[in-house]
Every structure is written in structure tokens, then in C-alpha cells.
Amino acid sequence: MKPGMASSALGKLKDKLGEVLGLLESQTSSVKPVNIYVGGGVDGAAASIMVARLLLKLGCPFRLRWFKQSGDMLQQLRSEGLSILVDVGGAEALIRKLGGGGRWIVFSHHLPVVEESGVLTVNPELYGFDGSTEACCSSTCYLLLCEAKAEDEVSKLLLCLGVMGEEQVLEPEGDVKGIDEACISPLLKEGRVKVAKKLKVFAASKLPLFKSLAYTLNPPIMSLMGSEEAALRFLKSLELGEEASSIVLPSLGSEGKGRLVQALVKEAIVSGVDAYEAGRFLGPVLEANFDFFSNDLYEEACIMDACVKAGRLGLAVSGFMKRFVEFPLKEALEEAVSYVKSLTLELSRLSPIIKGSAEKLKVYELQPLAQYSLIELAKALRCFNQEGVTVTLTKLDDFAKVAVVAGRKLVWDKEVSAKLVGKVLDIGGMGWGSVGEVEALLPSSKLPELLSFVGEVSEG
């Protein structure tokens, strides 16, 4: 978006946020708590914490709930009083299915871009910002706090966690754009935040390196995936000058880290990963300089994300709701490790299928445990299918959850995603997405029809 247009669009978005603030301020005399429903992962969690902290400042009672997207999700929603849905895919369609009633605020950055009657929708896509690269719920909610003059050090940290969790610190140089840029650029200028290149493996400062490698999902190294023993053998083969089982990433010097990156990229390519994707082991991240925060920002985002998707929202958010912020509980790390380990084992189970398929439309049925990370697993599997479409799905009784991602070499713009989301709605499901990716929840009986349509769209 051009600078002049961006300024005008940002002004209109702030007007909408002014409406939201007015509605929240009207709740100060209400005895009914505001219901905040959290979807997604770290972005939804970070944004919802900002909203909750604002309500605390306003003196409004609230309940913070994890929203489980499943067949009984309509029973989870309460139409009494004011409810806020944060990063909940298909939120407007859900509210429509409830048949009205209540008051609703929706924070989203996905397709479809709709405004339902009786719903105050805050979606940067409505103002011309790209929700896949220029805006997320965290940056939008940070703007809300700025409008309320309630931004503080904690909200700045949450902003960075959410933007990074949505992979909007863009490769190769770590650019931030659109609303993200409007929020983060002052922090960059002040030196509170900086962009740095980092070896992006899971919880590398908190776990022995061989465990971090075994639990890293993307890019996927199938020979190491989910196997601590294989990862340990891999490290021993590099002869990095320390006992392999005791190495932690921060202890390696620049030479050791360089050798490790080269070896990881080579191992990924040998296992079939596209060369570009293999190179993403070393990528841009945000690093924070806050007096109260000494942890690795990238690792914190990964741990929060895993806790949310494991259904342990409290572990992800509770430390931010206290007077003195705490990071992270030992229990949070343990939960994150357990959850990510289950996903790596699921990917490892698929290894023979990955190597044996030459189809450009690749469909993988996963265990129900993976239902809240289907999109991450689809992105990992996409590394082996850059010219086609990768689909991950899981069946939950009468419903199926589906994630669809396009390969990097395939032309799949926002219009294609919108067409697929529209198809999901037409067949009685709910869909949401952005450029190159779509997620959906639909009746299991309609799954063959959806997959057929995906095949047609990917060919056309």
C-alpha cells in the first residue's frame, strides 16, 4: 500500500477502534462480565491479553476463554452481554448461526472480509491492509490501546510476540509493513526492539540442543523428526568440541553455529526439502530490550503458541495478568515440549507417504491431536511440494477440520483463497484464510466435494 493511502486507511481503522473503545467504556457499570474468546495461537493470546488488561484498567469484569473450534462450538458462545472474539476463524459466520442477540466485537485479520449486522468487526483487510503480511490481531489491539492511551511496556512486548508469531517479520531482511510497521517502528527507533538473524529451532536456550532439533517442525528434517536419539547422533557427527548431549545453542561460538546451520540445511535438502525452505533455518526475528524481560522473544512466542494450541490458555496468559509479569512457568515449557513432540511424531509417521507421493495435490489425514496445528503441519509438509497444494485434515465425529496451503511456486493469490472460503460456506462449513492458505471446519460428508474443488482451483 502506498504511504498516502496507508495513512488514510490507518485513520479509518482508528475511527473504528474509537467505536470499540466507546463500547468497552460503556461496560464499566455492567455487572455482567465481558466474554473474551481466544482462537488461533500466540497472536490471538497476545491480542486477548491486551484487551483483558484494558478492561482491567477500565474496571470492567471479564472472562477469558479458549475457543475450541469443534462440532459443539456454538454451545461455547454466550449471547448475553458483550462478547469479544479474538482471532477466531469464521467468527462472523458463527455469530450468524447463533441467530443474533447479544453484542459482539470481532478482531480478525483473515478472509472472509464481512461486516455482520450487530457485529463490530475490526479487520485490517476492510481497510486495504494485507492480513497475511501487514497486520495481525496483536498489532490491531495495540492500536486500540494507543487510542485509549493505555499502551505500556507489557503491551509493547505482547505486540512483538504476536507479530512474530504470525510470521510477519518478513524474510529475508526482517521488514515489517503496514499496521505492524506503524506500531513497531517507534520501538525500533528507540532501540527497544531490533531485528536480528537467528537459528530458528524450538526452545534452544531452554533445552539441550539435540532435543530442540528433534522438536523443530519447520523446516522439517525427517531424519531427525521426533527422535532425540537421531538428533543426538547428528550432533555427535559434527564434532562441535563439546559433549553432544550437553550442548545448548547459546554455548556455541559463531564458528560452531555456522557449521550447525550448514549441516542442518544439507540434511534438510537430502531429506527432500526445497532448498529455499531449507535455508529458512536462519531467519529474521525480533529481539526485545525491556527491563522486565530477559527471555528470548522468538522462543517465548513458540512456547506461548504451543500452550494455546494444547488447550492450556492459562499457561500462556496468566503471567501477563499479574502486577509483576512472570515468564514462563516451568509447567508452560513442559506443556509446550509435550505438545510439539506429539506433532513431530505425527510428521515422522507420515515420512513413507511423503517420499512415495508424486501428486501435486497431496492430502494427509492426521490424528485428532493435531487439529489445532493443521496449518503449521501443512506448511511443514509444503516444503516437499512447492509446485502443488498440500492439505492436512482430521476427522472429528461428524465434522472435519482442514488446512490448505499452496506451494511457493504456485500462483495462489487472495482471490483464490476467497473463492475457496466461499465454497466452504456454500457447503455448510466455515472457512477463513489469507494469501496461499485456507482453514475450514465442515461436515465430514462434504469433505470429498471440498477436496475436489481444491483440485480444480489448484489446476486453474
Residue type, 294: S
92-96 own/partner pairs: CB under 8 Å, 24+ apart: 92/116, 92/119, 92/121, 93/425, 93/430, 94/430, 95/119
How far is Cα 349 from Cα 372, in angstroms, rounded to an integer? 18
The Cα angle at residue 220 between residues 216 and 224, in degrees rounded to 5 = 70
CB-based contacts of 74: which residues, under 8 Å, 6+ apart? 94, 97, 98
DSSP-derived secondary structure letter, 33: P
The CATH T-level fold of domain 3-192 is inorganic pyrophosphatase (n-terminal core) (3.90.1640)
How far is Cα 430 from Cα 368, in angstroms, rounded to an integer? 18
pLDDT of residue 434: 93
From residue 373, alpha-carbon distances to 168, 257, 361, 402 in Å are: 18, 29, 20, 10
- Residues in the chain, pLDDT under 50: none
* DSSP secondary structure, 63-91, as one string: EEEE---STTHHHH---SSEEEEES-TTH
Please give the distance of CA 255 from its chain centroid, rounded to a whole number: 32
We find that the CATH architecture of domain 352-459 is Roll (3.10)
pLDDT of residue 289: 85
Query: What pLDDT, in 10s, does the model give residues 153-171?
Result: 999 999 999 999 999 999 9
pLDDT of residue 89: 87
Residue type, 228: E
pLDDT of residue 96: 79
pLDDT of residue 75: 63
| Residue 207 grid coordinates | 533445552
For residue 44, the number of C-alpha atoms closer than 13 Å in the C-beta half-sphere is 28
pLDDT of residue 79: 60
Kindly list the domain boundaries of the chain, sorted by start residue: 3-192, 198-288+291-313+322-347, 352-459
